[in-house]
Amino acid sequence: MPHRKEVVGIALAAGRGTRMRSSRTKMVHEVAGQPVVRHAVEGALAAGVSRVIAVVGHDADQVKAALGSDAEYVAQDEQLGTGHALMQAAPKLRGFEGDLLVFSGDSPFLSADVFRKLLRHHRKKRAAATILTAILAEPGPYGRIVRGLDGRVIRIVEKKDASQAEYSIPEVNSGTYVFDAAVVLPLLKELDTNNVQGEYYLTDVIEMLFVRRMVVETLVADDNYVVLGVNDRGELAQAMRIFRDRHIEKLMTGGVTFVDPSATYVDATVSIGQDTVVYPFTCLENGTVIGKHCRIGPNVRVSNSRIGDGVRLEFAVVEDSRLKKGSSVAPFSHLVEGRPAD
């Protein structure tokens, strides 16, 4: 087994996301009960990175509040591309000779499992760089993976710079990489802005490695949603729907009945016991724990609460509360910390 190097995570979290039309950076809009940026950062930490460095720019204080002490921070005052972002982190990496796990902070489907698989593949192949890719029927806005006749990766071409032939390539770049820091960091000084967007592309490092006959590997993602970023309200709604549907499916497999899953909203942080029935227009949020044999809904919202076995809730709001086994709440009640709201 190849020697296991130390891994540092680099979260690219400087973009504001103007298409969100929001006073808040896209990184802190919530998906499945937590800020977008926390999903990937928590995944990296669970996968075993020794530290996470978040590159922040627009609304940096918001990102820092979302991540707290789980990350270190460097500023990218001007957003001049992904390569420029990694340049800002480079001073914190002086003397580091392990691997860099570089990922976008707006990609909520980057899980610990995804990162572990990518790191294992990188180590097994002893690569200088490993790219997480996806095969899409409609490649859309993503960078394309360009290969030679022998199948080796030659370069990544951004959509705006792609030729007609390159535009039709179905294998796309997820924006997630593992780099051998000792090999890749020195190459950053060779990046230029000779492209349509006038930015320092981190993807240009791949062609530099190919020219130097270094090993560049890819790992095709099992789940195409890993490439989904949250850049506008439509993508935010799509991400929330995917998380919700997957979590509800998991809960149903565990013995929970949902009368109408499409009309029920459940955060990924919520747990529900066997033989509980959840009726339509119910919203369960923020780490709520619901016991067995409960009847929840219709028209119920429960947030940050613990609901005992056999509880009945209809047409009610329950926040920051604990309900004992077998209890019930009168319809049209609003409980906050176990008391009726003022």
Query: What's the CA dihedral at 37, 41, 42, 48 to 10 degrees?
Result: 170
Pairing between strand 264-266 and 171-180? unpaired
- Contact (CB, 8 A) for 172 and 136: yes
CA distance 11 to 37: 8
CA distance 224 to 173: 11
Q: Which of 23, 21, 31, 205 is nearest to 106 (CA)?
A: 31
Total residues found in the chain within this entry: 342
Q: Which of 19, 96, 94, 10 is nearest to 56 (CA)?
A: 10
C-alpha pair distances (Å), 49 with each of 9, 71, 122, 193: 6, 11, 14, 31
Retrieve residue 82's tokens.
Answer: 């992904």
Q: Is 212 a catalytic residue?
A: no
Q: Which one-letter DSSP state was computed for residue 186?
A: G
Which candidate in 4, 19, 126, 152 is catalytic? 19
CA distance 321 to 283: 15
Q: Which one-letter DSSP state was computed for residue 193?
A: -
CA distance 296 to 298: 7
Provide the annotated active-site residues. Answer: 19
